[in-house]
């Protein structure tokens, strides 16, 4: 085996380790005397270490949300028209790329997006409750990936969440009020309860 070379430190590095306070004070004085050079050096470092800098910024904002969130909200409220105009302009210039990215994200996260969509609808209808993707997957496994009404085979992309007691009739958005259904059954059920819809299906089958 080759001998491992020990890292050597210079006298300046040894002094800096022993005198961190003095070094920090000297750096502050230098920055105060040369603000433009400090600004340029900081900009160049961030350009060379963009990933590290962005990761640090995200981590710092996450740990200091109580400080940053009010500032961001105030800034957005004061400049909302300008920000909206920038977003519209960016979307107009990058419409195809944004649509492709949205389709790709939806394909990879279809269950999460549908859960979020159901939660948003429940909030608009002032219904209580919310469920998670993990709870939704447990319901799908419980029903063996089959529609609760017509027993059609479902996948995670074709399965929709149906409320046993509809939201329009006082039902909640908790997971115990939800069963999997295919899209045709979900649309045909509409405002009916599960029992009422099953009765209608039986009558239709007997009639046919």
Name the pTM for this structure.
Answer: 0.59
CA-based nearest residue to 146, from 109, 185, 198, 174: 185
According to the CATH classification, is domain 110-207 in 3.20.20.10? no
Per-residue pLDDT for 206 more than 80? no
Q: What pLDDT, on a 0 to 100 scale, did the predictor assign at position 106?
A: 87
Q: Where are the domains of the chain?
A: 55-93, 110-207
Per-residue pLDDT for 178 more than 80? yes
**pLDDT by residue (tens digit) across 68-82?**
999 999 999 999 999
Partner residues linked to 163 by β-bridges: 178
**pLDDT by residue (tens digit) across 85-144?**
999 999 999 999 999 999 999 888 989 988 999 999 999 999 999 999 999 999 999 999
∠ at Cα 74 (71, 76), nearest 5°? 105
Q: What pLDDT, on a 0 to 100 scale, did the predictor assign at position 2?
A: 58
What percentage of the chain exceeds 70 in pLDDT?
Answer: 95
Pull the structure tokens for residue 136: 């939704």
Helix axes 20-33, 35-48, angle to 10 degrees: 110
Q: What is the DSSP letter of 37?
A: H
Calculate the average pLDDT of the chain. 90
Using a 10 angstrom Cβ sphere, with 0-12 exposed, 13-18 middle and 19 or more buried, the burial of residue 149 is buried
Region 160-165: mean pLDDT is 93
At residue 143, φ and ψ (nearest 5 deg) are -90, 10
């Amino acid at each position: 085996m080759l001998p491992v070379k020990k890292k050597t430190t210079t006298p300046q590095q040894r002094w800096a380790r022993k005198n961190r306070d003095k070094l920090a004070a000297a750096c502050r004085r230098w920055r105060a005397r040369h603000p433009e050079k400090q600004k340029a050096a900081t900009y160049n470092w961030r350009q060379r270490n963009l990933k590290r800098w962005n990761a640090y910024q995200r981590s710092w904002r996450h740990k200091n949300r109580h400080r940053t969130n009010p500032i961001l909200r105030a800034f957005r409220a004061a400049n909302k028209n300008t920000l909206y105009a920038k977003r519209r302009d960016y979307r107009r210039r990058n419409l195809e790329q944004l649509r492709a990215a949205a389709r790709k994200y939806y394909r990879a996260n279809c269950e999460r997006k549908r859960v979020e969509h159901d939660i948003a609808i429940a909030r608009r209808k002032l219904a209580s409750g919310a469920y998670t993707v993990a709870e939704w997957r447990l319901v799908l496994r419980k029903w063996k990936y089959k529609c609760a009404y017509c027993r059609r085979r479902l996948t995670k992309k074709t399965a929709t969440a149906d409320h046993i007691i509809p939201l329009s009739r006082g039902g909640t958005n908790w997971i115990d009020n939800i069963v999997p259904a295919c899209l045709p059954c979900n649309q045909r059920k509409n405002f009916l309860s599960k029992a009422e819809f099953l009765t209608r299906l039986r009558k239709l089958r007997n009639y046919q």
